[in-house]
């Protein structure tokens, strides 16, 4: 359905991700779908974000402000709650491990990242550790986290770092934001990553034009929400 040259020439295509087998066979655990509404009231899908989607923290915090400022709106209209998002996210992340009580962490590039506020907010609301690359190390094929009580194995990583910077041994060798050996540990099933490395291939705007055809091919359905008019 998609010309192969679009895949292989895309910036999101990463050769080291060929042949990966992510836990449960799920590549994309969190997706950010941007919608726009035009003057006649119709909605369109503007783009798909499947690598490291960000922005949900603003939804959560804006809702709290709205509830305090305009409580009458929530009495008059059937506004659906959003405060359950962190617990649903944590449940999704925990489901990637076979362990009954897996250790989940959020991997952030650090305080200078534009989405750091979201990383820290989600870590707080989910009750998990927020870590940077220096806090993690691959030991005997498994990922471990440095803590004040010693080393602790990490089972699931919600990574908020782009693929290219995840592991300097597999991708960009000049990356100081990633964890050396992380991809090898992932391939061996010693740790789960969300989203799976390589999902950025579907972020490509060239692929966006083919999404309606992809939906029709795999689901035999027509999209409920159309794409913004574009050309292939």
Is 153 part of any domain? yes
Is 10 part of any domain? yes
Q: What is the distance between the alpha carbons of residues 110 and 160, in angstroms, rounded to a whole number?
A: 10
Q: What residues make up the domain containing 137?
A: 4-219
| pLDDT for the residue numbered 128 | 98
| pLDDT for the residue numbered 205 | 85
Q: Is the pLDDT of residue 232 over 60?
A: no
Q: What is the distance between the alpha carbons of residues 19 and 120, in angstroms, rounded to a whole number?
A: 33
| pLDDT for the residue numbered 24 | 87
The predicted-structure confidence for 154-171, as pLDDT tens digits, reads as follows 999 999 999 999 999 999
- Into how many domains does the chain fold? 1
Cβ pair 155, 93 in contact under 8 A: no
Cβ pair 222, 216 in contact under 8 A: yes
The predicted-structure confidence for 9-52, as pLDDT tens digits, reads as follows 988 899 889 889 898 889 999 999 999 998 989 999 999 999 99
Q: What is the CATH number of the domain that holds 106?
A: 3.40.50.11290
Is 177 part of any domain? yes
Would the CA dihedral through 62, 65, 67, 69 be positive or negative? negative
Is 231 part of any domain? no
> What value does the mean pLDDT take over residues 186-202?
93
Is 225 part of any domain? no
Q: What is the distance between the alpha carbons of residues 189 and 34, in angstroms, rounded to a whole number?
A: 32
196: pLDDT confidence band, cut at 50, 70 and 90?
Answer: very high
| pLDDT for the residue numbered 203 | 86
Query: Which of these ranges, 39-43, 100-104, 116-120, 135-139, has the smallest mean pLDDT?
Result: 39-43
Cβ pair 109, 132 in contact under 8 A: yes
């Amino acid at each position: 359905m998609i010309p192969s040259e679009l895949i292989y020439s895309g910036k999101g295509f990463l050769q080291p991700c060929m042949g990966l087998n992510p836990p449960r066979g799920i590549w994309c655990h969190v997706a950010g779908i941007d919608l726009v509404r035009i003057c006649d009231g119709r909605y369109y899908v503007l783009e798909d974000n499947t690598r490291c989607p960000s922005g949900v923290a603003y939804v959560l915090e804006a809702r709290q402000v709205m509830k305090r400022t305009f409580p009458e709106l929530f009495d008059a209209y059937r506004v659906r709650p959003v405060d359950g998002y962190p617990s649903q996210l944590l449940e999704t992340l925990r489901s990637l491990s076979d362990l009954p009580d897996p250790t989940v962490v959020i991997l952030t590039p650090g305080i200078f990242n534009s989405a750091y506020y979201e990383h820290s907010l989600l870590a707080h609301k989910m009750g998990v550790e927020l870590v940077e690359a220096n806090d993690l190390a691959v030991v005997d094929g498994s990922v471990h986290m440095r803590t004040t009580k010693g080393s602790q194995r990490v089972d699931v990583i919600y990574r908020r770092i782009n693929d290219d910077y995840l592991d300097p041994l597999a991708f960009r060798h000049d990356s100081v934001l990633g964890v050396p050996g992380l991809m090898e540990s992932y391939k061996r099933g010693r740790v789960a990553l969300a989203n799976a490395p390589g999902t950025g291939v579907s972020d490509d705007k060239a692929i966006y034009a083919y999404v309606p055809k992809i939906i029709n091919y795999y689901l035999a359905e027509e999209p409920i929400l159309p794409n913004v008019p574009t050309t292939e």
